[in-house]
């Protein structure tokens, strides 16, 4: 089990996110390449390799409960969509590996690092665009050729996690890299508004 003490120099979100990604990279060092490089990453097999069991459970309120971690067991709502089950496993692994007192958004950042590898995003988006696109232009590319959907499918994540990662990795011109928390920020909602406005303007296909 890897343990990394948090560097307490400075406490900005940017430093925290950087440290979360360092912890995730250290965890992945213990995972064999054949579990790291099929995409989408087989997060359930990665969790098993790290010594965690996964239990899919039926819960009374699937909207309120996505998952939890208890005694090396990750409990995941079986009613959740596949992409949400995958992200939940990554998020709960964050609870297992991050420092004491970590925040929920930092677990989202941990899941992002595990499921949406930044180097692969940069090389893949380089084939789409040479420079970061404005968020509205990402919405337009989705409408015209499904560029966002292709990335969603490549990493096996939800649209919200993918847009958040694009922002964090510097692929969206109007987003300061490293600042999207996934929950609690309006990035994905703004993307959706752009998408729906463009779709409405162009009319139904
Ligand atoms: Zn959590």
80 lies in the same domain as 67 = yes
Over residues 85-125, the pLDDT tens digits come to 999 999 999 999 999 999 999 999 999 999 999 999 999 99
Query: Tokens standing for 7?
Result: 């560097």
**Overall pTM > 0.95:** no
Q: What's the 19 CA to ligand 1 centre distance in angstroms?
A: 17
User: What phi-psi label fits residue 198: left (phi over 0), alpha (psi between -120 and 50 degrees) or beta?
Assistant: alpha
Q: What's the 171 CA to ligand 1 centre distance in angstroms?
A: 26
**Quick one: average pLDDT of 69-94?**
96
Query: Where in the sequence is the domain holding 187, given as residue range(s)?
Result: 118-202
Domain CATH for 64: 1.10.10.2910
pLDDT at 27: 98
Q: Which residues surround ligand 1, an ion (CB under 5 A)?
A: 104, 107
pLDDT at 73: 97
Q: What's the 95 CA to ligand 1 centre distance in angstroms?
A: 7
Question: In this structure, is residue 4 part of a structural domain?
Answer: no
Q: What is the rounded distance in angstroms from the CA atom of residue 173 to the CA atom of residue 179?
A: 13
Q: What's the 97 CA to ligand 1 centre distance in angstroms?
A: 12
List, in order, residues 6 or more apart from 198 with CB less than 8 Å away. Answer: 136, 139, 140, 143
Burial of 51 (0-12, 13-18, 19+ CB in 10 A): exposed
Q: What is the rounded distance in angstroms from the CA atom of residue 26 to the CA atom of residue 4?
A: 9
Q: What's the 151 CA to ligand 1 centre distance in angstroms?
A: 25
pLDDT band at 160 (very low <50, low <70, confident <90, very high): very high
* pLDDT > 70 fraction of the chain, expressed in percent and rounded: 92
pLDDT at 204: 57
Over residues 20-48, the pLDDT tens digits come to 999 999 999 999 999 999 999 999 999 99
- State which of 95, 115, 135 marks the end of a domain: 115
Q: What is the rounded distance in angstroms from the CA atom of residue 109 to the CA atom of residue 32?
A: 22
Q: What's the 73 CA to ligand 1 centre distance in angstroms?
A: 14
The CB density around residue 173, as the number of other CB atoms within 10 Å, is 15
57 lies in the same domain as 145 = no
**Quick one: average pLDDT of 53-80?**
91
pLDDT at 75: 97
């Amino acid at each position: 089990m890897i343990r990394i003490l948090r560097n307490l120099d400075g406490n900005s979100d940017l430093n925290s996110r950087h440290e979360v990604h360092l912890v995730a990279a250290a965890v992945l060092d213990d995972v064999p390449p054949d579990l790291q490089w099929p995409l989408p990453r087989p997060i359930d097999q990665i969790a098993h390799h790290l010594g965690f069991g996964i239990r899919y459970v039926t819960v009374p309120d699937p909207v309120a409960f996505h998952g939890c971690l208890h005694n090396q067991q990750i409990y995941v709502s079986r009613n959740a969509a596949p992409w949400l089950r995958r992200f939940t496993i990554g998020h709960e692994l964050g609870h297992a590996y991050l420092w004491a007192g970590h925040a929920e958004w930092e677990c989202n950042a941990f899941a992002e690092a595990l499921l949406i590898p930044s180097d692969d995003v940069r090389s893949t988006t380089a084939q789409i665009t040479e420079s970061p696109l404005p968020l509205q232009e990402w919405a337009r590319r989705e409408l015209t050729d499904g560029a966002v959907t292709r990335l969603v499918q490549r990493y096996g994540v939800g649209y919200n996690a993918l847009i958040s990662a694009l922002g964090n990795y510097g692929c969206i011109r109007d987003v300061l890299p490293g600042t999207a928390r996934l929950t609690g920020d309006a990035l994905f909602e703004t993307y959706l508004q752009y998408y729906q406005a463009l779709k409405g303007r162009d009319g139904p296909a």
